[in-house]
Each structure stands twice: as structure tokens, then as C-alpha cells.
Amino acid sequence: MTGIRIGMEEFRDRPDMAIVRLEGTIDLEGLALLNERVLPLLERGCVRLAFDCSALGYLNSPALGSLVAYAKKARSLGGDCNLYGVSPEVMDILRIVGLPAILRVHATRESALTELQEGRAPGGPVPGGDGL
């Protein structure tokens, strides 16, 4: 049994944007479930994704690779992906592999969604964001 729960919040007025809520831990089984939920979003044009990590306890390196792959796919289609609500423990993992240079990490949902709506440049620290 997987240790991840995945919730989706889509916006009627913004079919190109969604929030993906990650709860628990992403292991190999959880990664398969994540791909089953996220890849169809990208394929149907929902290319502005905010990953809510506030209830995420752990993710493995294949999961990190998938987040990068989602961002690359979204960017190739004119969108982007970012993260928010990242715990200090998960942030340590992200920093070790240099992920904040590829995906923006926001302190709040509002900041993440605003950036996606405005279509700012991908990657790098967020001005006034989480202090990275």
C-alpha cells in the first residue's frame, strides 16, 4: 500500500492551472500514482501546476526527477510548475539536489498561484518568497 495521498484542485476559470496536494511519502509505488494523476493534466493542457507540499513528509530521488520532468513538460507547453508549503526536512532534500534552482519554492499558496498566473521566468529564488 502506498504512503501517498494526492488531491487535485482545478479552477473553472483557469483550465490551464491546478493545485496538486501531496500528503504522506512518495516512494516508488506512490510515484506511479503521482504519474497517473499528473501526466493526464499536462496532456490535456493543464500546464500551470502548483504542488502543495505542506503535508508531504518525504520524497525519493525518482520523485524529484518526476517533478523536474513535469516542469520541463509544462514549460515546453507554455506553462510552469512550482512548489509551496515545503517542510524544512523536505527542503533539505531539495537543496541537496539543487532543485530550488530548477523549480521555484514558495512559502505560500498565494505566492505560488500568483507566479503561475503571471507567468514569471522559471527556476531560481523567489523575490520576497521563502528566503532561499
The CATH number that applies at residue 97 is 3.30.750.24
User: 52-61, pLDDT tens digit by residue?
Assistant: 999 999 888 8
Indicate whether 124 belongs to any domain: no
98 falls within a domain: yes
Range 44-59 average pLDDT: 95
Structural domains of the chain, count: 1
Strand order in the sheet with 4-11: 4-11, 14-26, 48-59, 80-84, 104-106
Range of the domain at 29: 4-118
pTM, full prediction? 0.87
Does a structural domain hold residue 123?
A: no
Mean pLDDT of the chain: 88
Q: What is the CA radius of gyration of the chain?
A: 13
